[in-house]
Structure 1
Amino acid sequence: MTNYFTPKFSVAALGAAAALTLSACGSDSEETADSTTAWDEIQEEGILTVATSGTLYPTSFRAEGTDELTGFEVEVVREAAERLELEVEFTELGFDEMLTSVQTGQVDIAANDIEINEGRQENFQFSTPFKYSYGTAIVRADDLSGIETLEDLEGKKAAGASTSVYMETARSYGAEEVTYDNATNETYLRDVAIGRTDVILNDYYLQTLAIEAFPELEIVIHPTIKYSPSEVGMVMNQDNDELVENVNRVIEEMLEDGTIADISAEFFAGADVTEPIDIEE
């Protein structure tokens, strides 16, 4: 997931996550029963509970001048839920809290530009991917923050979420991480511009639109740094097989009929993020 902010864990949530890990060691028949029960309960209540941030433009945000939650993944979720004949109930959380809430069963899905990777696949199930991108770096416009390649991240101050794949990349190259609570994009971007931090590593599409939203800031996307091709999908509990199957069914329908491409064009300035990307790393 490519979110910018870092929330806080609660002791209770961590304890619940540990309990879930222990309870997941039951028999296959027990897991199947739990999966079926979870999907049956969702259908019976008629509500799909979804965690998202509400602060990550253009994936999940509030439209200017309104209190309406919208964004690329928000609208993908709404369309998927409609095809499943369910209402959607959104809960706005920080990144780490989203994953904990999925793991503990407090929500059914997390949708917030969350990248599919091996580490997360050990603990969660992902939907069929519906967004493809790659990593870039936001730096100061006048000197590119003194960064020519990823190797130059050593000693630089990198802003982002501590548990994101992008911060993992920054740390692997020796950057000093700077994390925030549930801050807006403007806070992150302005701190790079004024030199409080040096770089933000994140998703290409998100970075491009974030910069376009604040043209007064003297920052740019680094012209040559491209890395880590990525796939994004919705995150679900490991045991919710039936939910995953049904979500995948409608996501694949939406990819086939062009619905997600249309939603992408609306939020990514005409770009189709459903197309896989090849880059030279």
Structure 2
Amino acid sequence: MNRWLATLLVFCLLAAALAQDATPVPTLAVPTLLPAAMPEAPSRPSQSAIADISARGVFRVGVLYNNPPYSELTWQGELTGFDIELLREIATGWGVEVAFSQVTRMNAIDALQRGDVHALASALLHYRGYEDEIEFTQRYLVGHQAVMARADSPLQAPDELAGVKAGVVIGTRAEMALGLWREHSGITPETRPFFTLDRAFAALRLGEIDALLAEEQSLLRVAGEELPHVRILDEPLLREPHAFAVRRHDAPLRQLLNRSIQHLAETQQIELLQREYFPDLARDADTIVVWQHVGEEVTPSQFAAEISAPAESTLTRLLEGEALRVAGLEADMPHVAALNRALVTEMARRWAVPVVESAVSADAVLQSLRQGEVDLVAGVKLDWQMAGGINFSMPYLLQGDRLMVPARSQVANFYDLRNRIVAVMLGDDKAWQRAQAWADSINITIRRFDTTLRGAAQTLLEHNNANAVFANSLQLVDHLNTNPGTLKLTERWYSHDYYAFALGYNDPDFRQLVNYTLQEVILDGSLARMTGGLLLGGDLPDFSITPGSSQFVGLNLASA
């Protein structure tokens, strides 16, 4: 009997011990919430991550492990994807190893701010709401929040979605994209929520909904073999810029990554990766803005390891009602000067601040900016040789070498100019050297004719002295506007020169203000109106638009 009682006691004690570690049983009672510790605001770093990358020879990047075709851990335990291969190319150029760390969309920013990783890729896309905590590089790819319809659907564009039953998966970026699109378009579809994309796609096929909104690559994957029965509309609901994220104020690493992106674009490495991972994706030459003088190699040693930043942001001064101090409004071409003035005036109007124009000479404007004497310099070419100690806004003007030909001409490019005559502006030997270099690159012979800026159209239309005029696009637009239907530009750009505002170094708040305002000026059509005859409608470049609200630091940046 005693032995039986002892055995029973042992089992009771064992059960009690196991109960302490048992999985809690769900109940209907609401659990008591304990106060969570508020995370401290990240302190401004004194050293760039470049210092650690150089010292250890390792570039640590946080990525998602379940985000094909950008980053994915395969069943074989290998990381693959567009972002993964791009980062490997970047690290190879730097002469370091790349180490990938798994992050989620929930913990990615914390991992970056703690210093667990030097940068983020694939985990976050460049939306305005993130820039209060981190900074983004320039974009290296543009994705789409797209609209899928059945193959026999009459839908042709998103602006036809009013009242249409449209499915969207709860908690995805498609929800955010739909909200932003509704805000700008004023169009409201009849939204149907779904928990999974598979269920939403089935609803589309069964006719329960007439449109499905999701990330384009996700739509292609979920359609699979049923792709012939559906189609994705040509115009996306929202364009999403893919960019790397770095710690806020780590300007050296951001610039290093920007230059690496541009170098890989110029050497066509990014295009090769795009063809591998996105064979059906339309490639736009303006997706990646390449500055002048990128160089033959890009390494961390070209950038400072120490971080310097202004004691006070220009944004703080402007919010207190102080004037915007500007320089560089004048330009060699009257059209460009007029654009500079109109753009600065419009931005200041939206910020509700006065403008004070500095009398600094053209040769000294950038030095004046570096010394904090002006806030903004207009009309500065994006050039790595001028980037020391300043930052640039996004570009607002594109110019470059183009071929102008008669409208009925069959000339489409330099291939069609073999043994023919190419005109350049009188005395512009550099333009002729560039034209000759293009001819040499395809082993053809061209002959030179010198024309005047005023007489370029007559050279082609009346005197037949040349088969094409090769010149800067801004030198040609007046002739095209004066001779509509008789002159045209061939499709190809033979060079890209982007112009932007030069801003104070490492002032992300003011750079955000300038960039967001420029984007709103583009979105509402104000920039196109300001250019007047400066640019043809089809020549407006595909400027990078960061999706997000028009409200910023209490200002409504949209046109009033």
With structure 2 as the length reference, what TM-score do the two structures score? 0.37
Of residues 212, 221, 226 in structure 2, which corresponds to 1:210?
221
Unaligned runs of 5+ in 2: 1-35, 183-187, 288-541, 543-560
- How far is 1:104 from its partner? 3.3
C-alpha distance in 2 between matches for 1:159 and 1:202? 8
Show CA shifts across 1:225-251 (max 9, x none): 623233221111113222212222211
Is 1:19 equivalent to 2:40 in the alignment? yes
Answer whether contact 2:108 2:123 (CA < 8 A) is retained: no
Answer whether contact 1:54 1:69 (CA < 8 A) is retained: yes
Within 5 Å, give how 1:105-254 maps onto structure 2: 105-112=115-122, 114-138=124-148, 149-152=160-163, 157-159=167-169, 161-162=171-172, 164=173, 166-171=174-179, 173=188, 175=191, 188-195=196-203, 201-204=213-216, 206-207=217-218, 209-211=220-222, 214-216=224-226, 220-223=230-233, 226-254=236-264
Is 1:83 equivalent to 2:104 in the alignment? no
Answer whether contact 2:170 2:193 (CA < 8 A) is retained: yes
C-alpha distance in 2 between matches for 1:158 and 1:62? 26
C-alpha distance in 2 between matches for 1:139 and 1:191? 15
Amino acid at match of 1:107: V
Is 1:95 equivalent to 2:105 in the alignment? yes
SS in 2 for 1:90: strand
Is 1:44 equivalent to 2:55 in the alignment? yes
1:255 corresponds in structure 2 to 265
Instruction: Report the RMSD for the aligned CA atoms in angstroms.
Output: 3.7
Amino acid at match of 2:213: L
Answer whether contact 2:147 2:237 (CA < 8 A) is retained: no
Show CA shifts across 1:166-220 (max 9, x none): 32133455746556xxxxxxxx44222333996653443x2464246x2158973
Answer whether contact 1:131 1:273 (CA < 8 A) is retained: no
Answer whether contact 2:59 2:99 (CA < 8 A) is retained: yes
C-alpha distance in 2 between matches for 1:148 and 1:221? 16
C-alpha distance in 1 between matches for 2:240 and 2:159? 22
C-alpha distance in 2 between matches for 1:15 and 1:45? 33
Unaligned runs of 5+ in 1: 1-13, 25-30, 180-187
Change (3 A) 1:95 1:274: farther
- How far is 1:254 from its partner? 0.4
1:57 corresponds in structure 2 to 68
C-alpha distance in 2 between matches for 1:42 and 1:105? 12
Answer whether contact 1:49 1:89 (CA < 8 A) is retained: yes
Aligned-pair identity in percent equals 18
Aligned residue pairs: how many?
241
- How far is 1:92 from its partner? 2.3
C-alpha distance in 2 between matches for 1:224 and 1:254? 28
SS in 1 for 2:147: strand
With structure 1 as the length reference, what TM-score do the two structures score? 0.69
Within 5 Å, give how 1:21-36 maps onto structure 2: 21=42, 23-24=43-44, 31=45, 33=46, 35-36=47-48
Show CA shifts across 1:230-280 (max 9, x none): 3221111113222212222211110111011111111112646464476xx
Is 1:269 equivalent to 2:284 in the alignment? no
C-alpha distance in 1 between matches for 2:146 and 2:280? 20
C-alpha distance in 2 between matches for 1:253 and 1:106? 27
The higher radius of gyration belongs to 2
